Structure 1
């Protein structure tokens, strides 16, 4: 069991935890003995996951329903985690929204929604949870933030300009966060994968078979690795690409 401040278990907050990458990350950390807050827009799958993890691994799992586009709900999510656990060793910013469309055709309102969910929500949560991250790092030595970005935020991909732009902004946000906070033991890492085998990539599985995509386990393994780094090891970003001759492709 992982022991932290005053003998308490370490604690993580995972957004977008009802399925896919988020659910796998939550499961990995519950298995390692961490307490958790899991969040998504729908309560039922969160309640099911919380019950499963609590029963199987004997950890505390708090459920917080939140819409990433609603700043008040994000503030409430941050407050709920801090009230429940009083510490935050790992913040996993996994919730996000995808959107395919040509620049010439995608409505600006869709871009605005992408920005709200993929970038603004991260800013709001970082700001709201920074006091808890700092206090945890002060006592435990380090606190980590992991943001799930996308390879399209590093390398352009046709018809994913709006999505890629928001992920590039998320990467920039985390890099600046490191400049401001890493000396205090709080640092951020972006993980930028190509296509991951989840329901969000169903639209392209006629061209890229699911079995040839990056797995949710691959991404969760990288999150685990970041959580084990000391305060003196800052990993700004990781790109996970699929095999082949073009390592910049999604």
Structure 2
């Protein structure tokens, strides 16, 4: 198991889980392409990784809701790096709440980001991952395994991610591609900032999972060379207290 001299692409890399995933991958020797909408933040992270770990970095500003932009993201990464060994599908949003109150714009934002964006990136990356016997890692969620009454629409997108990923695992696993899903519960990131208080402000340090913990799990799945890490659940230790 190694990430040394591998070439990885991380979506949603400008903050939170994606940002820390890029750091962990680079620490382990992977060259990393960084994708998100906030180009300035990506540039700063790219400079940090190149300086700290001596790896190649690439900034590919991308809105994953745009199919052509996603295709260009993958194409540019492969053209610049020469190959693709790892795709981390991390970009996602969690706006909305009560179904009766979710606006059409909020609904479409979640579906286009969490579902369409994941599909577009995966579809574009598969031919390249087949060539390298690479790894495809999806960031799922506790909400994609158990009912989430507080936000059923978001939960539905994560159920889709898990169903898609595991079915795809059966389809492209025989071609040598590893497919993994990493499911965290609450993580102290910018998540929910679009419509509510961000988790990083709502929870105190140590109260819930930190993004670097999820990043370590992603890196473990991405480092497999022969086996597949089917699924990793990463929950805070008191998650089921009172259930």
Q: Taking structure 2 as the reference length, what is the TM-score of the superposition? A: 0.91
Contact 1:192–1:239, Cα closer than 8 Å, also in 2: yes
Given the superposition, is the C-alpha separation of residues 195 and 60 from structure 1 closer, same or farther in structure 2, using an over 3 Å criterion?
same
Structure 2 unmatched ranges of 5 or more = none
1:193 aligns with 2:184: yes
1:158 Cα offset (Å)? 2.0
Give the structure 2 partner of residue 70 of structure 1.
Answer: 66
1:166 Cα offset (Å)? 0.3
1:189 Cα offset (Å)? 1.0
Give the Cα–Cα distance (whole angstroms) in 2 for the partners of residues 206 and 48 of structure 1.
Answer: 23
Give the structure 1 partner of residue 212 of structure 2.
Answer: 217
1:206 Cα offset (Å)? 7.7
Structure 1 unmatched ranges of 5 or more = 138-142
Give the structure 2 partner of residue 18 of structure 1.
Answer: 14
Decide which of 127, 130, 150 is 2:126's aligned counterpart: 130
Aligned length: 238
Structure of greater relative contact order (alpha carbons < 8 Å, 6+ residues apart): 2
Give the structure 1 partner of residue 175 of structure 2.
Answer: 184
1:208 Cα offset (Å)? 4.6
1:112 Cα offset (Å)? 2.1
Give the structure 2 partner of residue 167 of structure 1.
Answer: 158
Give the Cα–Cα distance (whole angstroms) in 2 for the partners of residues 122 and 35 of structure 1.
Answer: 21
Decide which of 206, 225, 235 is 1:230's aligned counterpart: 225
Decide which of 217, 220, 237 is 1:243's aligned counterpart: 237
Contact 1:241–1:247, Cα closer than 8 Å, also in 2: no
Contact 2:89–2:138, Cα closer than 8 Å, also in 1: yes
Give the Cα–Cα distance (whole angstroms) in 2 for the partners of residues 170 and 207 of structure 1.
Answer: 26
Q: Taking structure 1 as the reference length, what is the TM-score of the superposition? A: 0.88
